[in-house]
Structure formats: structure tokens, C-alpha cells
Amino acid sequence: MNNVVGWLVCLAMGWTEPSVGLEAAGFSARTEGVKATDDGIPAALQGYATFAEMETRLKVLAESPWAELSSLGETQGQRPVWLLKIASDPQATRPAILVVGNVQASHVVGRELALRMAERLLNAGDSPAIEQLLSNYTVYVIPCPNPDATEKNFQGPARERNGNLTRTDDDRDFESGEDPPTDLNGDGFITMLRIAEEFGTHRTHPSDPRVLIPIDGKKNEVGGYRLEVESRDTDQDKLFGEDAADGVDFNRNFTFNYPYFAKGSGPHQVSEIESRAVADFMFDHPNIAFVLCFSPEDNLYNTWKGSSQTDGGRIKTKILTEDQGPMDRLAESFRVAHGGKNAPESSVGAGSFSEWSYFHYGRWTFASRAWWVPTVEPVPATEPAKTEAVPTETPAATESTAGETPAAEGAVVKSEEAKVVERVEPTPAQEPANEAAKPSTESALANDDKRGMTELNALAWFQSQNIEAFVPWQAIEHPDLPSKQVEVGGFKPLYLLNPPAAQIEPLVEPHVGLLNAMVENWPKLAVRELEAKRLGPGLYDIRCQIVNTGGLPTMPEMASVNGQWSPIQVQLVGPGKVKWIQGSQRQAVGRLAERGGKMEVRWVFQMIEGVDAELTLKIQAAAPTLHPVEVEVPISE
């Protein structure tokens, strides 16, 4: 920015120029604390590939004659946005599928799965289906569209980070990064603060006091706690951890349903290197017919729903009903192969990549969460509270001490940030803040009340797997809440989004199977009911039907609406110089429905040069997303 007005506009939108903001903070715009180290990787991501390890594996794959590796651009952190092209002939242009990894940076399993899918495709000599796929189609893989943001998740203290290195003013108060989450108890995790308040917004779950649920005012419930992210109120605005200068989120930076002024959305749509690089690549490749990305905004289990009423709206905000059926069929085939049950609800996709890919790019688009905590019977916590003094004192880790060895879970910690005053076992029944809150905290829930069930199930599953994914609530003396009863605890970051590394590999095959299902249902062109008549000397009438014999329409209906799809071009080849009486030499054919959708094409022309005996005609039909078809035209008198 070279003028004050532009600078103020950017600040008001929650954004500052990367180089200016980062240098003011004392470090280079290209190196903001995202380097992963062997001993600094959060426990939830142990066994996951770092960016450097991903690059090494991609370069090994690129040695295959069926692969080609290139970069779509370089981020502020000097990390390439890698693209791997996979086909039996990487130089050929064929109908294509695009696979995009973790569009939400903290959903690191998406990067792993995209990378492992590429490895499976290039090492599948035993699979005729994959051989057929790569012999006839191209698969583009962008394993990590947001490498800077993803690598932030490999640093400590552990918390979910989704923004890139653009330094942002997340609370739009003209200061940047002044109130970040802080590891108050020095355990290496950013969890939650549980603050006892008479009229709080949350209460403990009667089955397990570790779990807090929002109160229901209609049931006259009174809460005993409010929840905040583990942090200080550094700027004394009574908000906690609201500005970490976290950057722009790739998955909030696209044009459809763009969330203006929201945290992570950026100064405007497609403002970032990463989102521009991916969008430019997609628009430059009209041969892409299908897009599969990995995101918590799942539409394979939580399929999109449309209606005839929303179809008629000028601005389309729901999937068109003509597209819902075909997408539902492919999603059903995936669910059968995947086998998962009780999938969580999809998160909202404002400015998301997957919705942009369908609504504005006009492609068949699928978003896969891939994994969630499996359903088990919850184990209620029935033991009374146990506390014990722990004499050990260690320094607390904060955002600026990433990489230091954190204090043992539950240990007493003294620091300038906070002081842990007791150790609390994982299953205590916490006392409410006061007597007024006590009845609602202990009251039972109705049988159909599902509040807290997701958290109860997660606790039970992690316990069954011997995974320590929950930080027991631990009382601290909070420096900004000296008169409050405050505890730190909750689920450790990244565990609820990403499976243990040992459980990733079984998830690869269902997603490769989805690619095969796309190929099996790919629209296919045929020329049927061809008639060619000589009406007189040099005068011809030729007609045929262009038919789709495949299991999917030749394009989504949404592509007909937004115009982001190349139509089928049907051309009559060989007539020479003629006068066209009806039709033109090349004609466009619109969307053809699956399994028999058709459109008639007709040519009537008078030859100006040449003689009838030398006339040879062919009909060609092609589109970037379809395999071409060509037939000779037999002419009858």
C-alpha cells in the first residue's frame, strides 16, 4: 500500500500487508514460525508427513514415466504449491479429474490422503481399473494447496491453524496479533478456559462433568460456566485470544458465499497466492470434469439438497435438482465402500473451495471429511473428584516458546501467565460456581437430548484406543481474572479432525474407488440415427443425433447456468466450399442427460466447388471433458 487510505481500508477489513506486518513484528514475512522439527510435531500429527517429507515423496513419484511434477506458484514462505499430473501419457490432454488435499489446513489427513492416492495410482500394477483410468484419463493432484498454513499445525503449542502467512488484524481493532491464544498451563496444547459464572452459557453434562454443553433457555436451565479459548486478555477488551494475526484461510477466500470481513476471509475474494494459483490452474484446464477435495465440509455423507423452489432463484445458493440425483448416486457408492457410520454434520462452507468449485466453476464436486471419531458406547465418569498437590514447578510455554519441552500434564506451573493450583484427574465431578448454578449442572437430560453426545463418544473412543486426547480440567490463577474460578482443559487440538497415522491407509482405497466410479459413469458420446441424402446435384441433407450413453449428464446443470463449461462441438468435416442452407459447419450441443440424452443436429448445404463423386464426409463430436467420436457419413440418393 502506498497511501494512507488504502492502508486504512485494509486494516478495516482485517488485513495488513504481509511484509510490513511481519517485519514490524520482528521477523521476515517468509519465515514466520512454521518450521516443523522432529521434536516439535504435536502428538496428534505424529506419523504425518511434514512439507519436506511430502516434497521428497512427490519427487520420487515424479520419476515415473506416468507422472509429471510442477509448481503452480510459490507462497510467502517460499513453499511451492505442487501439482502432480498422472496419466499413461502426461503430455496428452485428456478428460481429467482434479484431487485437492486439505483445503482446510488443520485437516491434515486430507494432505496425507491426496498424497497416498497418488502413490496408489502410480503403484497399482495389480489393478486393471486403475490402469484403464490412467490410460484414458488424467488425474491432477494438488496434495497441499495451502502449504504455509498447513505447516503452522506442525509447530507448538498445538492448536488448529488455518491461515497463511499474511498477517491479519483478526478483530479489526487496528492492531495485529496483540491477543493470541496462550499456553497458560505449559502443557504444549491450546485448549479451553472454563470460567465459573453464575449466569454462564454452559453447564456440565450429567453423564460426564468433563463435557460442557450449552444451556437451553427454553428448559429454564441456568449455566455455571462460560468457555473461552486458552489465552490472556492482553489488550483488556474482555475478549480472549481473538487476535493471533492468523492469516488468510484458503478455504474462506473463494467467491461463492464469500464471508466479507470474517476472520480468515482476506481483504477480498481470491486475494492470496495460494487461492489464485489453484483457481487459475482450474480455469486454464477446461478438461477437468470432476473435483474431489478433502474438507470437513463433507458432501459425500452430508449430501447437498436442492429443491424446485431454489432452482428458480436468480442467484443459485442450493444444488440444482438436475444435479442432485447424479451426485447422490456417486456419493452412495462411496459410502458403501467407505463403510463409516454416524458421520458428523458438515461444517458451513462460507467462501469455501468445494462450493466455489460447483457453483462458480461449474464442475461435479465432492468434498470428503474422510475420517471422524467412530461411534462407541460412552463410558460415564462416576468417580468423585481427586486432587493432589504436585510440588514440581516448571516454566509455562507460550506462543513464543514453541519447541520447548512442555510441562507434564497436570503439573503445577508458575509463570507470569498463570499458576496451576491443583492437579485434577480426568474424570472428576466439578462443583458448579455457586448454589444457583448447581441444580442445572446436575439435572438429567431428556432421552432425545443429543447435547454433548459427540464429545462423550469421543472420550470413550479415545479411551478405547489408549489415546490421551483430553486435557483434564485444571484450576489455575488467571492473571486477567483474579476473582474468578478458572480451569484449563478440554480436547487437545487436531485429534478430532485427524485420525491416528496408523489408521490413514485403509481410507485410501474408498477414495480411489470414487475415482473409478467417476470413470465408470463418465458421459460418453455416440452418433446415432445418421441419415445423409443427396437431394440433387451438389445438394445434401445430413442429420444425426448426438447421444450420451454414459451414466452421468455431459455437464452439471449448474455449468449451463454459469457458463463455465465448454459445450460439445459437432462438426461436419469434408464438404469443401459450400453454401449453408441450414445449420453451420460446426454446431454446439448443450447438456445431454445421462443414459440416452440426445440432441438432433442437421446440415443442409449446396456445393459451390467440387463434384459429387469426390465428396467424403465425416462427423466429429468432442468436448474438453469428453472423449471425441468420429464417424464417416454414407450418402444415399
- Answer whether 70's CB lies under 8 Å from 85's CB: yes
Does any domain span residue 164?
no
State the pLDDT confidence band at 436, using cuts at 50, 70 and 90: very low
What pLDDT, on a 0 to 100 scale, did the predictor assign at position 428?
39
Spell out the alpha helix ranges (H) of 503-636.
508-520, 557-562
211 or 27: whose pLDDT is higher?
A: 211
Spell out the alpha helix ranges (H) of 344-452.
353-359, 438-442
15 pLDDT more than 90: no
574 or 357: whose pLDDT is higher?
A: 357
6 pLDDT more than 70: no
25 pLDDT more than 70: no
Most confident of 48-52, 378-382, 610-614: 48-52
Average pLDDT for 138-162: 96
Do 9 and 103 belong together in one domain? yes
420 pLDDT more than 70: no
Supply the range of the domain harboring residue 461. 192-242+377-491
- Answer whether 440's CB lies under 8 Å from 215's CB: yes
What stretches of 170-329 adopt beta strand conformation (E)? 192-200, 202-205, 208-214, 223-229, 288-294
What is the domain-level CATH number for residue 618? 2.60.40.10
What count of residues does the chain have? 637
Average pLDDT for 404-426: 44
CA distance 550 to 598: 12
Do 124 and 253 belong together in one domain? yes
What is the domain-level CATH number for residue 339? 3.40.630.10
Does any domain span residue 162?
no
Do 308 and 416 belong together in one domain? no
Average pLDDT for 569-574: 94
Element (H, E) at 472: strand 470-477
Do 531 and 448 belong together in one domain? no
407 pLDDT more than 80: no
453 pLDDT more than 90: yes
Do 399 and 539 belong together in one domain? no
Does any domain span residue 469?
yes
CA-to-CA separations, 267 to 10, 103, 177, 252, in angstroms, rounded: 6, 19, 17, 11
What does the pLDDT look like over 491-547, one tens digit per residue? 999 999 999 999 999 999 999 999 999 999 999 999 999 999 999 999 999 999 999
Please measure the distance between the N-terminal and C-terminal CA atoms of the chain and give it in whole angstroms: 73
Residue 472, Cβ neighbours under 10 Å: how many?
18
Q: What is the DSSP letter of 525?
A: E
Q: What is the DSSP letter of 577?
A: S
Average pLDDT for 271-281: 98
Does any domain span residue 443?
yes
Average pLDDT for 78-86: 98
Does any domain span residue 74?
yes
Do 267 and 281 belong together in one domain? yes
Q: Which of 94-108, 381-395, 406-420, 595-609 has the lowest mean pLDDT?
A: 381-395
The number of distinct structural domains making up the chain is: 3
Return the C-alpha cell found at 554: 455431459
Do 122 and 202 belong together in one domain? no
Do 142 and 20 belong together in one domain? yes
Do 397 and 415 belong together in one domain? yes
Do 302 and 403 belong together in one domain? no
What pLDDT, on a 0 to 100 scale, did the predictor assign at position 419?
65
What pLDDT, on a 0 to 100 scale, did the predictor assign at position 442?
52
From 447, 472, 491, the end of a domain falls on 491
Q: What is the pTM of this model?
A: 0.85
What does the pLDDT look like over 364-381, one tens digit per residue? 999 999 999 999 965 555
Do 106 and 53 belong together in one domain? yes
Does any domain span residue 180?
no
Average pLDDT for 586-601: 96
Does any domain span residue 159?
no
Burial class (CB in 10 A: 0-12, 13-18, 19+), 522: buried
601 pLDDT more than 50: yes
CA distance 523 to 553: 6
Output the average pLDDT for the chain.
Answer: 85
**Distant-in-sequence, close-in-space partners of 164: CB < 8 Å, separation ≥ 6:** 75, 76, 77, 146, 148, 149, 247, 248, 249, 250, 272, 273, 274
State the pLDDT confidence band at 106, using cuts at 50, 70 and 90: very high
Do 147 and 253 belong together in one domain? yes
Does any domain span residue 347?
yes
